[in-house]
Structure 1
């Protein structure tokens, strides 16, 4: 017996989320702030906040050398849109009622300045990112997901203490180069993207890839994916658009579960 022919579905009834297009300055600013607050809540769920360490920044759509960022001392899991602060490239708070973590912001400002196409930067002291950073090793192409970072991340193979000056921030930005991520030896991970969603997804995926690499090496000798296949997989999975699409279920989960973040 043949299978029934499915009835055609009108395209106006199909729903698939894509990045917004054509937003005005104020609309785009509000959109970016809402995505930033949601990403920080998600990072809180994953335990990526520790003390006052960690930042996610997003470029203001009008003032390109100003960035929205989480306020100093507020737990990731409690942050709301109204608590986000706007900080200029010199680390001065120009809007909002909180301080900014000056030491951490130095890095973000220099990355944003070096990469004008980057909209968002994510950095936090996650467990497995720090563990791999302590080994001074890059990610290896040992899983399909890790191939998204194949030849598209860098290793800053040095440690000079807590970053407090612009020169060190510029060195990190230079090491990052054109890539989507950098491993800071003895420190942790930093990822970038053309949206908050992309930067957050790359951080989540890089942290997971670090965890898997550490576990695989502890169990034995991982089998690397060959160069050609790793490059091809990166071309399929490694774009910011693919990152944005992959991130949407997580964004929906945190938004539905914690709608107060929009206040």
Structure 2
């Protein structure tokens, strides 16, 4: 475990492994880096991998306010620790953060993102997203952490039965413990749609990935991921669009590593 200090003084924890060009992994919602740990281990056969806990998660510190600029500074601190330039791979909402960081001028060499949960297919999505963000803020301000997690699950399409099962699961307390970090994810995703104007500022070659494993009854935002990825790729000056066959929202590292190895080494 290593630590870097971000620009606002927040300490960010990370794990480092492997040798070779630097790659920073950016995790998604309600994740402290654990979800990316298998990918980090597999990538470490080819790269020096930095898998960090985003602020408010794991051993990383947090601040009293939520500001996307602070999370961008966190990623910049990791890139500086990695030598001043690094490839970056972000999954889900971590992909949104990675895109925003590249657009803001972070020293990203090459960028990969996987299934960033923007939505452009549902005409009612802007209203739904605003309601979610407002409800999330209210729940967190009142200390209703379980309600905050439930709001997140509902906006991703969870049913009453799904939520009942989750609340009874042994890992539910761990989800509640990270509920406050959902505000950081919401900030990274902006208004819930691809930030087309800012994407034009991303000059790095960018690999835009999705899977094609869409289970029956999948949430609307899952079904919309392909369209969102197409829109992201269309807005980027140097995009490469690819689908990983047989992969769902959490992809098998063995499917991801060969693709990233080729792309990052081009």
Q: TM-score, with normalisation over the residues of structure 1?
A: 0.26
Q: Tell me which structure has the larger Cα radius of gyration.
A: 1
TM-score (norm 2): 0.26
